[in-house]
């Protein structure tokens, strides 16, 4: 199975040395679940063109980003068009953070800055729908997060998978939740505690308030369900690719 990673944000040079870029993070965490997956990056944020066809991969992952889906960037509109084509052609998509927001906007939802401000560190979410491919799912799960923007209106034809009091649309399935066209989630299952700690530290005092940053960094010792999310993402991509091939 070949999975394209659509890189829509950059990791700073200082952090990339010790932690890798976003495609490397996804390759590492998902490759531990299935070493047989072939991952390849498409560096959209660095000027790479949008793939010509959704069928160039068996599935696509849209990364997080320092940008907003409402930013006036030349690749935002074409990316939305590409994602709509993916769903129309039943090529599976996984969206993480910015990717979660971008697909929602592409399909008729709405994204804006949260009235609750930044969500940082380990965050807790409540499961509201439990598809069969999300095996061994607890009623609540925790994942590392860093975002200010979030989905405030979900598109038609989506199923809410998880929520929190300050992030109502934390995870979505597009189409039939048992065999979805896309799965997206607001927090970052690809982030290690060490990377997020370094990222928060680098932005404290400039972008992030010091008190909020300190609280978030203190939360990073809490257990998280990133291994479960990695398995669910791989299972979703694998199942969707098999179903598309058989169709």
Nearest to 234 by CA among 24, 20, 25, 27: 27
Q: Measure the CA–CA gap between 180 and 91, rounded to whole angstroms.
A: 10
Q: What is the pLDDT of residue 7?
A: 98
Least confident range of 82-86, 156-160, 238-242:
238-242
Domains of the chain: 2-246 (3.40.50.880)
1-49 pLDDT, tens digit each: 999 999 999 999 999 999 999 999 999 999 999 999 999 999 999 999 9
pLDDT tens-digit series, residues 176-191: 999 999 999 999 999 9
Q: What is the pLDDT of residue 115?
A: 87
At 45-81, the pLDDT tens digits run 999 999 999 999 999 999 999 999 999 999 999 999 9
How long a stretch of residues is the chain?
247
**DSSP-based three-state secondary structure for 212:** helix
Is residue 245 scored above 90 in pLDDT? no
Q: Is the pLDDT of residue 99 over 80?
A: yes
- pLDDT surpassing 90 at residue 159: yes
Instruction: For residues 98-121, give the mean pLDDT.
Output: 96
CA–CA separation, 157 and 141 (whole Å): 24
Angle at 121 (CA atoms; ends 116, 123), nearest 5 degrees: 65
Contacts of residue 158, defined as CB under 8 A and 6 or more positions apart, other chains included, come to 104, 107, 109, 172, 173, 174
**Cα–Cα distance between 47 and 71 in angstroms, integer?**
16
The band of 230, judged by pLDDT with boundaries at 50, 70 and 90, is very high
Q: What is the pLDDT of residue 136?
A: 82
Q: Element (H or E) spanning 241, and its range?
A: helix 226-246
Write the DSSP string, 75-109: THHHHHHHHHHHHHTT--EEEETHHHHHHHHHTT-
For residue 220, what pLDDT is reported?
Answer: 98
Cα 81 from Cα 88, distance rounded (Å): 11
Indicate if the pLDDT at residue 137 is higher than 80.
no
Report the alpha-carbon distance of residue 45 to residue 28 in Å, rounded.
21
pLDDT for 69 equals 96
Taking only the tens place, the pLDDT of each residue in 189-229 is 999 999 999 999 999 998 999 999 999 999 999 999 999 99
**pLDDT score recorded for residue 145:** 98
Q: Could you tell me the CA-to-CA distances from 124 to 8, 50, 148 in Å, in that order?
A: 25, 34, 16
Catalytic residues: 97, 188, 190
């Amino acid at each position: 199975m070949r999975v394209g990673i659509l890189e829509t944000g950059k990791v700073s040079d200082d952090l990339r040395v010790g932690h890798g870029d976003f495609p490397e993070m996804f390759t590492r965490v998902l490759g531990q679940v299935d070493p047989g997956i072939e991952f390849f990056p498409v560096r959209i944020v660095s000027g790479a063109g949008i793939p010509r066809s959704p069928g160039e991969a068996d599935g696509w992952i849209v990364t997080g980003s320092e940008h907003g889906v409402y930013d006036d960037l030349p690749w935002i509109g074409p990316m939305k068009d590409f994602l709509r084509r993916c769903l129309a052609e039943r090529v599976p998509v996984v969206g993480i953070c910015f990717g979660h927001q971008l697909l929602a906007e592409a399909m008729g939802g709405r994204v804006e800055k949260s009235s609750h401000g930044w969500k940082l560190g380990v965050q807790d979410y409540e499961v509201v729908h439990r598809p069969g491919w999300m095996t061994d799912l607890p009623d609540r799960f925790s994942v590392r997060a860093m975002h200010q923007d979030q989905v405030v209106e979900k598109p038609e034809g989506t199923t809410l998978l998880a929520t929190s009091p300050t992030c109502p649309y934390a995870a979505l399935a597009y189409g039939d939740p048992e065999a979805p066209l896309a799965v997206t989630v607001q927090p970052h299952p690809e982030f290690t505690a060490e990377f997020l700690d370094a990222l928060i530290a680098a932005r404290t005092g400039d972008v992030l308030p010091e008190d909020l940053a300190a609280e978030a960094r203190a939360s990073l010792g809490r257990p998280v369900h990133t291994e479960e999310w990695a398995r669910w993402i791989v299972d979703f991509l694998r199942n969707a690719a098999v179903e598309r091939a058989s169709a």
